[in-house]
Structures are given as C-alpha cells and as structure tokens.
Amino acid sequence: MKILVTGGLGFIGSHTVVELQNAGYEVVIIDDLSNASEDVLDGIEAITGKRPEFEKLDLRDRNAVSAFFKKYADVSGAIHFAASKAVGESVHKPLLYYENNLSSLVYLLKELTGKASANFIFSSSCTVYGQAEELPITESAPVKPAESPYGNTKQIGEEIIRDTAKVYENFKAIALRYFNPIGAHESVEIGELPLGVPQNLVPFITQTAAGLREELSVFGNDYPTEDGTCVRDYIHVVDLAKAHVKALTRLVESENKSNYEVFNLGTGTGSSVLEVINTFEEVSGVQLPYKIVDRREGDVVAAYADTEHANNELGWKSELTLADALDSAWKWEKKVRGIK
Ligand code: WQD
C-alpha cells in the first residue's frame, strides 16, 4: 500500500516515514525543500534500509499536484505535514501562511476525493485550544479564536477537511492535534534541523549547550504555575510518529467510527520550562546558561493532553520519557555539530 507523505523530509515527517516503512507501508514523499534537506532521505534509508520515492514539488502549484497524482495513481492515502509553521513569522506574513497552508490542502483534497477511496491524516496542533479552561485538555475542549495566522490555518484546515469528509463518503480523515514534539531517532540518523535561530525551546537548549547560542532566555517566571514558568506536554517525536501509523491503519482497516475524527497526541504529563532545563542538565551533564526575561506574547500558561481518547481508540500510548527525548535531542545536536 503506497502512502504519500507531504513534508516527509521535515522533523515529524521523516520520523513518521521511518515508522510507516517499519510497519510495511510503501512511501512516496513530496517536499519543497524550503525547510528540509534532501540528505534526510539518506538518514531514513540508513535506518530502514528502504529509500522512499521522492518528488520535489510545491503544493501551491495545482498543476504539479495533479500531475503527481497521475504519476502515482497507486497512492491510497496521505499524511499531510507540509506547511509553514513558525507562529511568530505567520503574524508578519499572513498571506504566505494562508496560501501555503490552505491552498495546498485544498489541491490535495481535490485529488484525493477524485479517487475511489482515500485515507487522510492531517497534522494539526494543540494550538487550536488556546488557553484551555480545563486541564488536561480533551478533544471536546472548545477551539478558541486563533492567536496567530499559523494557528488559524490549523483551525481552518480542520474545518475544510471536516466539510469534505461530509460530502465524499469514500474519503476518511483523522486530524492529529500534537502537543510539543521533541527529540530525535535513537539511531541519530534523523532529528530536528531548525533553520536560523530556533523559536522552540528544546532546539534552543541543545544549540546553547553546543555553544551556538550564548544563553537561553526563559520567557517569564511569573506565571501561576508551580515554579512560575509555562507548562507544556513534551512528546517524543518517535512516539508521535508511531501514533500516525496507528491512525492511518485505523482508516485502512475501516475501524474509524466516523469519516472525520480528531485525536490529541501528548504524554498526558505537563512539564515546566525549568523542569525541562533541569532534566536536560541531568541527562547531558551540561550546565545550561539561562536568564529569565519577559513573557513571550501569545504564550499560554499551561497545556497538556488528556490521552484517554487516543489510548482507547487508537490503541496508542506514549512510551518514551522527557529524559529519553532530551537525551536523544542532545545526541543529535552533538552529531550535527561534530561534538564528541
Ligand atoms: C515552549 C515553552 C515558551 C523558547 C509552539 C507552537 C505550536 C507548535 C510547537 C507547530 C513556552 C518557552 C521557548 C525559548 C522559552 N508548533 N520558551 N525560551 O510555544 O508551546 O508551541 O511550538 O506546530 O503550534 O505554538 O513551543 O517550544 O516555542 O515553547 O522560555 O527560547 O518554552 O515560553 O513556555 P510552544 P515552544
């Protein structure tokens, strides 16, 4: 069974391709290489022994998307990661985000709904909940007005898919709302490769420990949490990747209970910024230089998942710990920077 993975050379995409291949799926990747390198194919092949097919393609090019589906008529499903995902950048470049994240989704769906049947997995985000009233966050928590065009593209994307699934009965979809993906594959063949100054906490930590950054700025320690810093649900990217295989297989085997389903993917445990720093220091043995600075606009105080629905329906539960994820992230950073 051949599965299209868009954005398959990216951080979460590449780890998902590995788990798909491990589960016996054939994979073809589309990536525009705007935020990933073709060398990632070597890393995937080094792990699984199988090199995925690859097409460099901009999903905003409707004709190119249509030509792809003619060439790969045997594709029976898609996992859609390809999107611009920098929250801050999206505020300054809204049209880039609406075009790249939404036009490409519509062109993909037009092709998939033209097939006899198609299974679709959408990369969504816990950002749709904003600051949830109740913790842990369940899938029935209200979707809040987005704080950024990036977050809005995830909300609108879910609505586009939901409305499409209502009309095309042979089109089945699942939206996966990720909490905070971190870490790297244990082989150290693939991992996170943020371009420029990392916006996310863990790559900034590992780059600081590797000496690329002077010190980590902790965005506020005056929040109403145990130690005053924000709380997030940090999930190992390999656990997250395995959840995608479970979700796809649920559709392939028609175990879905409706044509559009939503699952939160997290560990169910919240960790504060200071807890992440302390855990990193324990696993790496590196003293991390950091300073407390002002809060970052748009940050929610706390967000962590209620994992009941995914555990019961997907038969999936995260297995790796925060320490495992930070250890793997550090090993990857050292490899990329040539540090022993
Ligand atoms: C985590 C915590 C920061 C950097 C974002 C997107 C979300 C998803 C994951 C794409 C926060 C603090 C961070 C730093 C810090 N992205 N922090 N110093 O904001 O929870 O989620 O990335 O899908 O959609 O919103 O993740 O890693 O940026 O921040 O103190 O240099 O670390 O304030 O509390 P976030 P993050």
**Average of pLDDT values for 144-168?**
97
Question: HSE of 10 in the Cβ direction (CA atoms, 13 Å)?
Answer: 24
**Average of pLDDT values for 94-101?**
97
User: 296, 300, 322, 326: which to mutate for ligand 1, most atoms within 8 A of CB?
Assistant: 296
Q: Which residues are catalytic, by number?
A: 150
**Average of pLDDT values for 90-98?**
97
Do 134 and 215 fall within a single domain? Answer: no
Question: Residue 83 has which token pair?
Answer: 């999107």
Do 30 and 174 fall within a single domain? Answer: yes
Q: Which tens digit of pLDDT belongs to each residue from 182-241?
A: 999 999 999 999 889 999 999 999 999 999 999 999 999 999 999 999 999 999 999 999
Do 293 and 214 fall within a single domain? Answer: yes
- Find, among 321, 319, 317, 241, the residue nearest to 280 by Cα: 321
244 touches 79 (CB < 8 A): yes
Beta strands in 65-156 (DSSP E): 75-80, 118-125
pLDDT tier, 45 (very low <50, low <70, confident <90, very high otherwise): very high
In angstroms, rounded to a whole number, what is the distance separating the alpha carbons of residues 68 and 30?
A: 9
Question: 219 alpha carbon to ligand 1 midpoint, in Å?
Answer: 10
Which atom from ligand 1 is nearest to the alpha carbon of 300? 34
CATH number, domain at 108? Answer: 3.40.50.720
DSSP symbols for 224-239: SSSSSS-EE-EEEHHH
Query: In which domain, by residue range, is 145 found?
Result: 2-182+236-265
pLDDT tier, 30 (very low <50, low <70, confident <90, very high otherwise): very high
Burial class (CB in 10 A: 0-12, 13-18, 19+), 195: exposed
Q: Count structural domains, the chain.
A: 2
**Average of pLDDT values for 34-58?**
97
Do 107 and 206 fall within a single domain? Answer: no
**0.85 cut: is pTM over it?**
yes
**Residue 172 confidence (pLDDT):** 98
Question: Residue 264 has which token pair?
Answer: 């939160």
Burial class (CB in 10 A: 0-12, 13-18, 19+), 39: exposed
Do 282 and 172 fall within a single domain? Answer: no
**Residue 43 confidence (pLDDT):** 98
**Residue percentage of the chain with pLDDT more than 90:** 98
In angstroms, rounded to a whole number, what is the distance separating the alpha carbons of residues 86 and 227?
A: 27
Q: Which tens digit of pLDDT belongs to each residue from 250-274?
A: 999 999 999 999 999 999 999 999 9
Burial class (CB in 10 A: 0-12, 13-18, 19+), 160: middle
Do 215 and 246 fall within a single domain? Answer: no
160 touches 101 (CB < 8 A): no
Question: Residue 231 has which token pair?
Answer: 């709380």
In the block, tokens 């033209």 appear at 114
Q: Which tens digit of pLDDT belongs to each residue from 106-141?
A: 999 999 999 999 999 999 999 999 999 999 999 999
Question: 55 alpha carbon to ligand 1 midpoint, in Å?
Answer: 31
Average pLDDT, rounded, for the chain: 97
In angstroms, rounded to a whole number, what is the distance separating the alpha carbons of residues 133 and 301?
A: 11
**Residue 290 confidence (pLDDT):** 98
pLDDT tier, 75 (very low <50, low <70, confident <90, very high otherwise): very high
